[in-house]
Amino acid sequence: MVKKSLCGLTADEIFDLIGPSGFTAVHAVSITNSIYKKSISDISQILKIPNRLKEELFNIAVSGVFLPLASETSTDKSVKYLFRTDSGKKFETVYIPDNKRNTVCVSTQSGCRMGCSFCVTGRYGYKGNLTAGEIINQIIALPQAKKVTHVVFMGMGEPMDNLENVLKACSIITSEWGLAISSRNVTVSTVGLMPGVEQFLKRSGCNLALSLYSPFPEERKKSIPVETQYPVEKIIEIMKSFPVKKKRTLSLAYVMVKDLNDTDRHLVGLKAILKGSAIRVNLLPYHSVLNDQNCSSSDERMQYYKHNLIISGISASIRKSRGKDISAACGLLATGFQKY
């Protein structure tokens, strides 16, 4: 019999597992609290459940909590962790401390099949989806797990290409019986798989960030191939028309590349597609890799974009680059996989 992983199960699913033996929903919540809030990896150490239940769990389940294989620390104190599953899937996670805000950037797939030109992860190729438990483990298995205040799904993989596991992970992260992190502190990023975006907006209260790259379809197709099947203008219209829940943020991530997508023409196009919406713009520096002829827009150019968006009535900010020296910044994950 294949044993179930407790990490990745909801309180209801655990109750379904133990209920037939006479155990209660309270016992199920005790198990989820031990796994998700206490990061307990040894079933014998699970709190507030009888020994008879522990014995039964030994026979039918494993905790599903496993430690990272390796880590690297940046000069800015960000830490990148490498995980590997029993089946051999490798993926990376980044812990980003910033005063009182401590963010974990999680992966949803080993590799990615979207093929975006500016992303190293896409060059690594697609090795498989991560389960909800493998996504959650990236948070609770870290040494800093108890300090985490925010979670972003911006690591390896396209979340909307693994939608059900992402939705389940979001539920575990935000539920009181789970990690109990507010949905306003959880952001899921996408390049724009339209069916997934629609389902995510309907079924989750977490934030959504859309990677844009260019406001012009022909340019975007060259760097984000999914544009051909799912035009970004349609994705943005869905975001504009969707009733925004209180304190939920819908945003665009705009990676700025010098002389490619940071011209005044691009700024006019960006303002045009966002006109009349509450969608926020996060401006990000581009991270070049070996043999890459492109480079990031200057700080001054990014400030120029931010200023012009704001005076046009569009909320905008510049996201600081973190962990670049250890290949932990946006688009760089999987750079060092050959070491392992």
- Compute φ and ψ for 64, nearest 5 degrees: 80, 5
3-class DSSP state for residue 37? helix
Q: Does 92 participate in catalysis according to the annotation?
A: yes
134 Cβ contact partners less than 8 Å away, ≥ 6 residues apart:
8, 83, 85, 89, 91
Q: Does 112 participate in catalysis according to the annotation?
A: no
Instruction: For residue 238, give both structure tokens.
Output: 């869905």
Task: Say how far apart CA 57 and CA 53 lie, in whole Å.
Answer: 6
Burial of 305 (0-12, 13-18, 19+ CB in 10 A): buried
Which of the residues 7, 56, 72, 92 is marked catalytic? 92
3-class DSSP state for residue 284? strand
Which of the residues 7, 170, 206, 330 is marked catalytic? 330
Task: Say how far apart CA 52 and CA 215 lie, in whole Å.
Answer: 60
Residues 310, 261, 317, CA angle at the centre, nearest 5°? 30
Active-site residue set? 92, 330
